[in-house]
Amino acid sequence: MENKAEINVEEGLNTEIEINEEFGNKLNVTSNKRPISELDSSTEEKKKTEALLKVEDISLSFTQYASGLRQTKLNIISNLSLEAHSGEILAVVGSSGSGKSLLAHAILGILPSNAKLDGKIEYKGRILTQEKKKELRGKEIALVPQSVNYLDPLMRISDQVIGDVAEEDEKLMKNLQRKIFQRYDLKPEVDKMLPHELSGGMARRVLVSTAIISSAKLIIADEPTPGLDEKTLNETLSYFKDMADNRCAVILITHDIEAALKISDKIAVFYAGTVLEVANARDFKNNGENLRHPYTRALWNALPQNGFQAIVGHQPMQDEVIDGCVFYERCSKKNDLCSRGIPLLKEIDGGVVRCNNAVSEEIPNSDETSSIHGHELKISAKEVKEV
Amino acid sequence: MKHEKLLKFGGHEKLLGFAGKKTFKLISLLIVVCLASFWLIEQSPIDPVRAYIGEMSVTPEKQAQLEEYWGVNSPPQEKFLNWAGNILKGDFGTSLIYRIPVTDVIKEKFTASLILMAASWLISGILGFILGIIAGMKRGTWIDKIIKTYCYTLAATPTFWLALVLLMVFSVYLGWFPIGLSVPIGVTADNVTFLDWLHRLILPAVTLSLLGVAQIAMFTREKLKEVLSSDYVLFAKARGEKGLNLVLRHGVRNVALPAITLQFLGFSELFGGAVLVEQVFSYPGIGQAAVSAGLRSDVPLLLGIVLVSALFVFFGNTMADIIYEFVDPRIKQEEAAS
């Protein structure tokens, strides 16, 4: 079990390449400076089927009763788009308490009743309705919660991991649960324990087991690494890497960008209820010159090892009405256009960004990267039509 | 392993500490109850000699003799020490009304009451819990509103009034149940059948149960609401659990212990309710004995009943504490976290 703690990057890349071979027919789709609208429909079709989960322009708001009977609307998520692909880890990185968890809840359909969700969520190319969510959650879409508080305090661990199953399946599931626990080095006595008896590391493995036992295709991990020591952190991350290697799509919601970079293929930067940029993990290097959004760059440069420079200001409050770019107030490159209307999504260098000023920068070793991440479209500076 | 041992050792130590604290509390409680009730009786215009004599006519000499015999004129502290000393020896004195030792009276009456109270404790607990779960599950629907209205109405209803209404409806108008007493009139205790006895227990037990339902139902409803909005229920939903199964798997499991705890804490109300209900139904239990002892100045019996009822309520509270401290794993969890 010990060796699990270390993430084998080499191995990770190998699997990546294997995956790409599977998608071999798409390896050559490398076009430059051609608007996406002009791409032939078959390529677009393929791209569509490729994404296991496609979140398009969703907005989430809460109706609240302020003083008296006055209703107020609180916008938590607005114009958020992202995609999760099988065999890949997408990290959604943003500061704590900014509504990232609600994104997970929106996908799973477990939002509170006063929440209003707009926009489109597609799973396997089909619209994910609330009924569909109810049907799929726990089966094809699994959540890995952030702490042991998400386990029933009075239920034995094995019963919780097995979940609510039909009586005739119970024995089968029990065997499966035992096997999974064996793999995660959870001894038989853990089966009979109650959540409060678990150590931090054990709790992680139990929570991950709940997703594994479901054999889900899409795993949403909500802050799975809070306050973990280095060893447990790496160990936990390796579990998600394993899931991706087994052809699952993993969405890793976290505020820890460093942890996210260790295993993720793509990083979605969450800010003020929206995703400002989806960058490839390899874009995070040097001074962040490959990053597309000024906020992502600021985030990267704020890390202790990258200069520790903080930018002034704070995220807009959730009840603020913003006409332009949500990052306008803090942006150093802002212009008039930025204060009028939300910037459109652009696809640049294999990532997407919501910034008016973002332009493609030629990457010298683009050929090498494309052979690794070949199945991604490499398109430069063009706008994707707003839906 | 070592950690486990430490935990066990800790648990043992905790148990000893708990028992010690409880014993100390019980002793101090009994001392205070003894002092307070003795003082109250001292201050009251009750004349035990007069009560003993009753309707008999006695000469003033004889009365003075009796007063001398019982030490009526000795100072209060001497009386108290005398009485307390006897109690320590297990002698509660002789009941002035029943003319038998107080312990015997209490034993007999308390057994009768205990059956009544246990029956209504169970019925109200189970019924209240089920109603609370239903109301909590169907929050905001008509069924929830009906249960809520029922609970609020009952909570605002005086016990004796409800007892009278039930007596009027079921005994007088419908004639389903006898009007009172635990045995039919004119039958010796040996010849009373179990069914006879049960038949007479039903109405008082139902009255007492109906009143107990309100509190436990409302509590369960609130608690279930809390559980259903917890993180672990959210996660259960995310794993595809739903409907009645979800409530049974997680709701009932997590609400049951607090509800049982509350039910034990309700012992004092149960006892108070029993006094009134027994009075209305002429059920010969401890409540009725307490009322007659008070009305007819039976000081030894009254003091005895006060002590027993204090013990009874203390027992209920202790049970609640035990569940809270030792049975509920969530408390251990919180302790471990702190």
In this structure, are residues A43 and A274 in contact, taking their beta carbons and an 8 Å threshold?
no
CA distance B30 to B8: 33
In this structure, are residues B241 and B249 in contact, taking their beta carbons and an 8 Å threshold?
yes
In this structure, are residues B231 and A150 in contact, taking their beta carbons and an 8 Å threshold?
yes
CA distance B96 to B297: 8
CB contacts of B336 in chain A (<8 Å) are 196
pLDDT at A383 over 60: no
Q: What is the pLDDT of residue B335?
A: 65
CA dihedral B250, B255, B260, B261 (to 10 degrees): 130
Chain pair A-B, CB pairs under 8 angstroms? 74
Angle between helices B102-137 and B267-281 (to 10 degrees): 110
Q: Which token pair is A162?
A: 């097995």
Report ipTM (2 d.p.): 0.77
pLDDT at A334 over 90: no
Q: What is the pLDDT of residue A18?
A: 37
CATH superfamily assigned to domain A2-140+216-383: P-loop containing nucleotide triphosphate hydrolases (3.40.50.300)
DSSP label at residue A156:
-
pLDDT at A353 over 60: yes
Strand order from edge to edge, sheet including A346-348: A141-144, A218-222, A249-254, A89-93, A266-271, A274-280, A351-353, A346-348, A382-383
User: How confident is the model over A34-47, as pLDDT tens digits?
Assistant: 444 444 444 444 44
Q: Is B280 strand, coil or helix?
A: helix
DSSP label at residue B125:
H
Q: What confidence tier does A385 reach under pLDDT thresholds 50, 70, 90?
A: very low
The answer to whether the CB atoms of B249 and A150 lie below 8 A apart is no
Q: What is the pLDDT of residue A25?
A: 38
Q: What is the pLDDT of residue A348?
A: 86
Amino acid letter, residue A94: G
Q: What is the pLDDT of residue A382?
A: 38
The answer to whether the CB atoms of A142 and B239 lie below 8 A apart is yes
Q: What is the 3-state secondary structure (H, E, C) of B154-171?
A: HHCCCHHHHHHHHHHHHH
CA distance B330 to A159: 17
Cα of A106 to nearest chain B Cα, Å: 11
Write out residues in chain B with pLDDT < 70, as ranges: 1-11, 48, 51-52, 54-55, 70, 180-193, 330-338
Number of Cβ within a 10 Å radius of residue B296: 14
CATH T-level assignment (fold) for domain B102-337:
MetI-like fold (1.10.3720)
Q: What is the pLDDT of residue A166?
A: 85
Q: What confidence tier does A150 reach under pLDDT thresholds 50, 70, 90?
A: very high
Considering only CA atoms, which of A150, A122, A131, A160 is closest in space to residue A249? A122
Q: What is the pLDDT of residue A219?
A: 94
Q: Is B190 strand, coil or helix?
A: helix
Considering only CA atoms, which of B156, B154, B278 is closest in space to residue B217? B154
- The partner residue sitting opposite A196, judged by closest CB among B237, B257, B336, is B336
Q: Which token pair is B208?
A: 């007492």
Q: Tell me the domain boundaries of chain B.
A: 2-88, 102-337
- The nearest alpha carbon in chain A to B249 belongs to A164
CA distance B34 to B27: 11
Q: Measured over all CA atoms, what is the biggest interatomic distance in chain A, rounded to whole angstroms?
A: 65
Residue, of A203 and A65, whose pLDDT is higher: A203
Q: Tell me the domain boundaries of chain A.
A: 2-140+216-383
Range in A121-130, A355-364, B219-228, B296-305 with the lowest mean pLDDT = A355-364
- The partner residue sitting opposite A154, judged by closest CB among B234, B237, B253, is B253
If you search the block for the tokens 């880890």, which residue do you land on?
A89
pLDDT at A230 over 90: no
Considering only CA atoms, which of A88, A213, A75 is closest in space to residue A144? A213
User: How confident is the model over A260-317, as pLDDT tens digits?
Assistant: 999 999 999 998 888 999 999 998 888 888 888 888 988 888 888 887 788 888 888 7
Contacts of A130 (CB under 8 A, 6+ apart): A109
pLDDT at A4 over 60: no
Q: Is B322 strand, coil or helix?
A: helix
Give CA angle at B322 (B126, B20), nearest 5°: 155
pTM beyond 0.90: no
The answer to whether the CB atoms of B240 and A153 lie below 8 A apart is no
Q: What is the mean pLDDT of chain A?
A: 78
CB contacts of B242 in chain A (<8 Å) are 134
Angle between helices A230-245 and A200-212 (to 10 degrees): 10
Q: Is B328 strand, coil or helix?
A: coil
Q: What is the pLDDT of residue B292?
A: 86
- The partner residue sitting opposite B254, judged by closest CB among A142, A145, A152, is A152
CB contacts of B249 in chain A (<8 Å) are 152, 155, 164
**Cross-strand bridge partners of residue A62:** A74, A115
What are the counts of helices (DSSP H) followed by strands (DSSP E) for chain A? Answer: 12, 13
User: How confident is the model over B12-49, as pLDDT tens digits?
Assistant: 777 888 888 989 999 899 889 888 888 888 787 777 67
Cα of B246 to nearest chain A Cα, Å: 8
